[in-house]
Structure 1
Amino acid sequence: MYKMMVSDLDETLLNDDGTINPKNVTAIQAAVAAGFKFVPNTGRSFKSVQPLLKQLALYNCPAQYVISYNGAAIVENRNNQVISTRGLDFTLAQQILAAGLIDSTIDAHIYTVDELYIYNISPSDQAYMAERGVTYTLLTQPDIAFLADADIMKVIFETSDDDLRLAIKAAVCAQVGDQVEVTFSSQRYVEFNKKGTNKGQAASDLAQQLGFTLTDVIAIGDNSNDIAMIKAAGLGVAVANAIPAVKAVADHITHLTNNEGAVAEVLTEYVLSNQ
């Protein structure tokens, strides 16, 4: 019997407009009431997940968790206690930021363990952040010297141009080599974490802390930053709207999209039906 689900948020658990399908809420609450662990596993900050946790009745709950920043932080919901982090070296973060700004249309996000800073935010990204209730501080210059002593989780770049995202990846990797883990998300972001940091590694670390094995874990997602956790889990699930690369590595593909309650579909079939 599965004991934990790690779930991506945007385009997986959440509807396209950032809301959550009521079917997902009902299924998650029923599973958690029976002792199941439901763990958002997201590229976002754990702070931005708090309204969602309130909807799911997981807010400030002991022994329930959030994995943030593509696996760079594991946080217990009670008092937002940070359990572990896998941050970027400051010099590496600086190099990534400088190398990735290859075009004046690109904006950059720098995440510390508890803050988000954005340089050159685009109108579309501003709307995306507002829709999801994400708070941030704007930078007027691409200078992060003031974060020299901070715990930097990841650096990401936003553009809706597919070719430009690939060019950013190439430019950064040419500068820093294999020191980074590179993923894509939401058809708009290219993301850089410390090498070895990903949603799959974090899911494995959390499962081990809880005394579970990966065979006890369901992972569900839609985009390339979800591949590591889908491959690692005992049951790796791609939602119906997932990109082809995710569907190719999944054990199961849902009939429903993110807008139709795909997470509820999986919980109903693999968790709630066994209770």
Structure 2
Amino acid sequence: MAYKILVSDLDETLLNDDGTVNEKNVNAIKVASAQGFKFVPNTGRSYLSVQPLLKELGLYNKADQFVISYNGAAIIENENNQVFLSRAMDFKLANQIFKAGLVDETVDAHIYTIDQLYIYNLSASDEKYMAERAVPFEVIDNAEIDFLMNKPIMKVIFESPNSATREKIKLAVIEAVGETAVEATFSSQRYVEFNQAGVDKGAAALLLGEKLGIKAEEIIAVGDNNNDIAMIRAAGLGISVANGIETVQEAADVVTKRTNNEGAIAEIIERYVLEGN
């Protein structure tokens, strides 16, 4: 099978624990992309926050190379950051999610528009995490997001290092909006994330493939956490990195020998993309 795309999670998958990139990954991605292969970051983050990463990988401002952002709510072509596809949520739904998820004073909330991240009640742990990954954001001072009423909201997420609190947030939001209204996922052992129903990393990977004439069986997907399961199941070859959580490893066709800190992406590219070329 000749694979044509690798869609990859970033944190704890492509990136080391400290937010840097293993040099093995950088080199493998550059070699593969020079041969016409597509390496597509498939992330919960904004595409704007991954521009320094794209420069490091040799994919910055490249035509026919892409980033999937906001857990699949937007697909961006790297050349001039053109919006290839956008699936924003209704403001009423976003506002309901935002209000319901603030279950106590320790929780902070992220609201993503197509080109901006707003954070309410920024926690010290989240501030450190954002700084390590050089993610730009704007702090909002009160629990009102009416100023975003006319802007496309891509997703709403909440941060808590406490797993019981994250479960409480998920239940509160689902009770408020209904289970069929949202896709709820967990990531990075700190976030619970909400997109509108039908929007996930897997659906976006398949939509990108369809637009480019690439079949599902020609797509590789790799991740480590709950919000990666949809793309791992959707792809022709679904892979968990060695440090992936148990449910991700169970969903995957293959588990790498290497962890994110050891160059797991290079292992995948060397084995499934470059081998025999």
Structure 1 residue corresponding to 2:189, chosen from 183, 187, 190: 187
Q: Secondary structure at the match of 1:274?
A: coil
Q: Which residue of 1 aligns with 2:259?
A: 257
How far residue 274 of structure 1 moved from its aligned partner, in angstroms, is 3.0
**Counterpart AA for 1:265:** E
**Per-residue Cα deviation, 1:178-226 (whole angstroms, up to 9, x for no partner):** 2000000000000000100000000000000110001000000000100
**Counterpart AA for 1:46:** Y
1:1-275 pair list within 5 angstroms: 1-177=2-178, 178-275=180-277
Q: Secondary structure at the match of 2:19?
A: coil
How far residue 142 of structure 1 moved from its aligned partner, in angstroms, is 1.2
**Per-residue Cα deviation, 1:152-182 (whole angstroms, up to 9, x for no partner):** 0000000000011001000000000020000
Equivalences, count: 275
**Counterpart AA for 1:80:** N
Unaligned ranges ≥5, structure 2? none
- Distance in 1 (CA, whole Å) between partners of 2:217 and 2:276 is 16
TM-score by length of 2: 0.99
Q: Secondary structure at the match of 2:20?
A: coil
Q: Secondary structure at the match of 2:134?
A: coil
**Counterpart AA for 2:228:** D
Q: Secondary structure at the match of 2:275?
A: helix
- Distance in 2 (CA, whole Å) between partners of 1:191 and 1:210 is 28
- Distance in 2 (CA, whole Å) between partners of 1:236 and 1:165 is 26
Unaligned ranges ≥5, structure 1? none
- Distance in 2 (CA, whole Å) between partners of 1:129 and 1:60 is 24
**Counterpart AA for 1:62:** A
Q: Percent identity?
A: 61
Superposed CA RMSD: 0.4
How far residue 80 of structure 1 moved from its aligned partner, in angstroms, is 0.3
- Distance in 2 (CA, whole Å) between partners of 1:7 and 1:31 is 14
